[in-house]
């Protein structure tokens, strides 16, 4: 039964690292993988249609016509006509007025000459012109037998070659040879095709065009030799004749860049009974025949990788490009790698420190020594010492080096902006450099923030919220387990949603890093506790005098009111509609414009009267908390929640839970 060429699904090759990629990434090891396959057979795993001959190409003059080929003959001049003609099984075509013409066995070039001669018997060449072209080409039948994946007969294009036929049949099986594929025609072997010549050298000269009834025969595979390790294409190769180690390495694409020539191992099966090993090397193998071991069927060659060695010293500190630098023990000097690192930076100290580890029988011994860099750069042998592998050199910077430390002052000062500072400089010095305060400056409302304080406040706030979350979730889990009715379970669900809402609102609070300071005019401020030593990144804002007081929390109308120096806390609360029924008056507190907080629970004598009777400063905020007892699950966490409020006040943020 004839088999048409069919399309096989493609197989995607696994993407894996090459041995050199593994070497550079530090992933290679002494263990060599022997997971290698027979070379060349994976070529036939590609889609069959990839290697199908193309019919829509010009036919060459040596193309041999046969039954099934279509000719297109066009006449013009005294006679205008187009005659398509198909070569029948007897090898002839029929043309009007000319009759029967036998063309089988002629080449395309001979056919054109023959038709022109026949036409000249009826028309003069000056009267009628002719053009001959090929139309649809015939199919041919070939047989593929032997050690092939799908032996049988195949119907192929007349353009098909030996390689096209091999792909149609799925290629040789792994017990079939790639080195001696034979094409037999009329009882004679017309070619011996070595697929390795095509795969390794791109030589396709023996890939002949097939003829009808050709037989492609694939004999059994020849001797096999494996090569694994650090060659460009580790695989199992078929030997055509006797081969040596060097020839198999060349078939495998040669050695990789990281191959170790100092060791080669050959595993050999002796007399089909046991395995032996041969050790050798590849050094000058081209010139020393004894090293170029002859190979036999079943041999396995292992090519090892070079062993990575860290012959480096580490240079750190005040150089242009610190890092690891290659050293030759006893030859590379300290000045050499400093120069390789781009030299010393301008703020480098004259002092460096060298740390060296020596191996002793009692364990590693560490030695440290100080080095004068000025003497090193002059080449003084006493200081420009030779380095050892693994030395660590630290180039120190000048004491307390920092390029610039900057602070910012904004608002009501004469010259706001970003100023550089030196170590130990204070706020009063900054005020003086900024030209002092303007007439509109509101010193009580000065806002001073510091990055180191912000980080500390945020960490404290996050830790407190984490503790609250653990407590709430633990209580929720225990209560859910003891819920006896659907109503109780629904209450627990609603309670859990409220907990998540509270935690989400608290996690949204971000610390500002504010430090509460008491500002005075410059002449009084110098030397006060608030005259802080500045740090890099400090920001000070001096606002204008505000005109409002804010009331928030459990009141009927949370809003801001125009500041009245005669009004008390209770007056502003009354302007906000008074406290609601859920307000907790005992927890009332005031956030002062200077960043401090005053609570109702402080001693009643703080201002001589209770907080409600106290007067405020412009910019102050009155906070009326809500009763925590209104929410049942907050009763047991009341103290911790109050701690969170205090942390929030310290951090300069407000958390309004409900």
Alpha-carbon distance of 248 to 301, in angstroms, equals 9
Give pLDDT tens digits for 152-208: 999 887 778 898 899 889 899 999 999 999 999 998 999 999 999 999 998 888 888
For the ranges 148-162, 559-573, 608-622, the lowest mean pLDDT is seen at 608-622
Confidence (pLDDT) at 603: 42
Phi/psi at 461 (nearest 5 deg)? -65, -45
- Report residue 530's pLDDT band, with 50, 70 and 90 as the boundaries: confident
Alpha-carbon distance of 658 to 310, in angstroms, equals 63
Average pLDDT for 259-286: 87
Question: Could you write out the DSSP letters of every residue in 219-273?
Answer: PBP--EEEEEESBSS-EEEE-SS-EEHHHHHHHTT-B-TTEEEEEEEEEEEETTT
Alpha-carbon distance of 85 to 92, in angstroms, equals 9
SS3 for 193? Answer: strand
For the ranges 62-76, 159-173, 283-297, the lowest mean pLDDT is seen at 62-76
CA distances from 459 to 464, 510, 513, 603, 619 (A): 9, 10, 11, 30, 28
Confidence (pLDDT) at 650: 45
SS3 for 349? Answer: strand
Alpha-carbon distance of 344 to 350, in angstroms, equals 10
Residue pointed to by tokens 């502003």: 572
Residue pointed to by tokens 């990789």: 256
How far the first Cα of the chain sits from its last, in Å, is 86
Average pLDDT for 534-555: 90
Give pLDDT tens digits for 219-233: 999 999 999 989 999
Average pLDDT for 310-336: 90
Long-range CB pairs of 221-224 (<8 Å, 24+ gap) are 221/147, 221/172, 221/174, 221/175, 221/176, 221/177, 221/178, 222/177, 222/179, 222/180, 223/296, 223/297, 223/298, 224/38, 224/297, 224/298
At 277, which helix (H) or strand (E)?
strand 274-280
Answering whether pTM is above 0.75, one says no
**Radius of gyration of the chain from Cα atoms?**
47
Q: From the CB of residue 168, how many other CB atoms can be counted at a distance below 10 Å? A: 23
Confidence (pLDDT) at 52: 53
Confidence (pLDDT) at 608: 40
């Amino acid at each position: 039964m004839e088999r048409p060429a069919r399309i096989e699904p493609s197989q995607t090759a696994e993407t894996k690292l090459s041995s050199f990629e593994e070497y550079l990434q530090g992933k290679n090891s002494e263990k060599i993988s022997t997971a290698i396959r027979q070379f060349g057979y994976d070529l036939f795993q590609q889609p069959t249609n990839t290697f199908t001959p193309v019919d829509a190409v010009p036919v060459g003059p040596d193309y041999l016509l046969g039954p099934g080929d279509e000719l297109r003959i066009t006449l013009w001049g005294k006679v205008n006509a187009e005659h398509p003609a198909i070569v029948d099984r007897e090898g002839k075509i029929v043309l009007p007025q000319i009759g029967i013409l036998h063309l089988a066995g002629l080449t395309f070039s001979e056919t054109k000459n023959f038709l022109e001669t026949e036409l000249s018997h009826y028309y003069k060449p000056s009267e009628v012109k002719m053009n001959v072209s090929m139309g649809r080409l015939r199919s041919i039948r070939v047989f593929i037998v032997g050690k092939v994946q799908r032996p049988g007969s195949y119907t192929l294009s007349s353009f098909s070659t030996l390689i096209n036929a091999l792909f149609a049949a799925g290629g040789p099986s792994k017990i079939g040879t790639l080195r001696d594929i034979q094409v037999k025609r009329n009882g004679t072997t017309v070619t011996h095709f070595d697929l390795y010549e095509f795969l390794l050298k791109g030589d396709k000269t023996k890939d002949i065009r097939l003829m009808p009834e050709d037989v492609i025969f694939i004999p059994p595979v020849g001797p096999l030799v494996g090569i694994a390790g650090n060659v460009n294409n580790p695989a199992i190769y078929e030997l055509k004749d006797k081969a040596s180690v060097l020839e198999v390495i060349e078939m495998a694409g040669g050695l990789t860049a990281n191959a170790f020539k100092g060791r080669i191992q050959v595993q050999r099966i002796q007399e089909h009974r046991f395995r032996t090993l041969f050790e050798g090397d590849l050094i000058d193998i081209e010139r020393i025949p004894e090293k170029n071991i002859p190979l036999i069927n079943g041999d396995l060659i292992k090519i090892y990788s070079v062993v990575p060695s860290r012959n480096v010293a580490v240079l750190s500190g005040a150089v242009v490009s610190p890092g690891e630098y290659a050293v030759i023990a006893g030859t590379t000097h300290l000045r050499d790698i400093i120069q390789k690192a781009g030299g010393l930076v301008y703020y480098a100290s004259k002092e460096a420190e060298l740390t060296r580890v020596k191996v002793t029988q009692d364990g590693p011994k560490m030695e440290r020594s100080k080095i004068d860099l000025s003497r090193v750069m002059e080449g003084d042998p006493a200081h420009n010492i030779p380095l050892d592998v693994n030395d660590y050199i630290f180039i120190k910077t000048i004491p307390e080096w920092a390029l610039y430390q900057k602070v910012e002052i904004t608002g009501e000062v004469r010259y706001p902006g970003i100023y550089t500072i030196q170590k130990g400089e204070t706020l009063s010095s900054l005020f003086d450099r900024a030209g002092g305060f303007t007439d509109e400056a509101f010193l009580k409302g000065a806002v001073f923030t510091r990055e180191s304080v912000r980080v500390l406040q945020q960490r404290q706030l996050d830790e407190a919220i984490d503790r609250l979350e653990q407590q709430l979730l633990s209580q929720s889990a225990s209560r859910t387990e003891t819920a006896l009715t659907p109503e109780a379970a629904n209450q627990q669900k609603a309670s859990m949603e409220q907990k998540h809402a509270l935690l989400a609102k608290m996690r949204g609070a971000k610390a500002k890093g504010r430090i509460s300071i008491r500002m005075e005019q410059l002449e009084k401020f110098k030397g006060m506790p608030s005259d802080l030593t500045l740090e890099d990144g400090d920001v000070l804002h001096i606002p204008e005098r505000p005109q409002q007081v804010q009331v928030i929390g459990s009141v009927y109308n949370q809003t801001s009111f125009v500041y009245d120096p005669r009004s008390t806390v209770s007056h502003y609360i009354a302007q906000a509609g008074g406290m609601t029924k859920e307000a907790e008056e005992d927890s009332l507190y005031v956030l002062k414009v200077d960043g401090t907080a005053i609570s109702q629970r402080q001693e009643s004598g703080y201002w001589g009267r209770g907080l409600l009777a106290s007067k405020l400063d412009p910019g102050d905020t009155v906070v009326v908390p809500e009763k925590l007892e209104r929410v049942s699950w907050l009763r047991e966490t009341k103290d911790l929640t109050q701690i969170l409020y205090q942390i929030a006040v310290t951090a300069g943020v407000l958390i309004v839970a409900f």
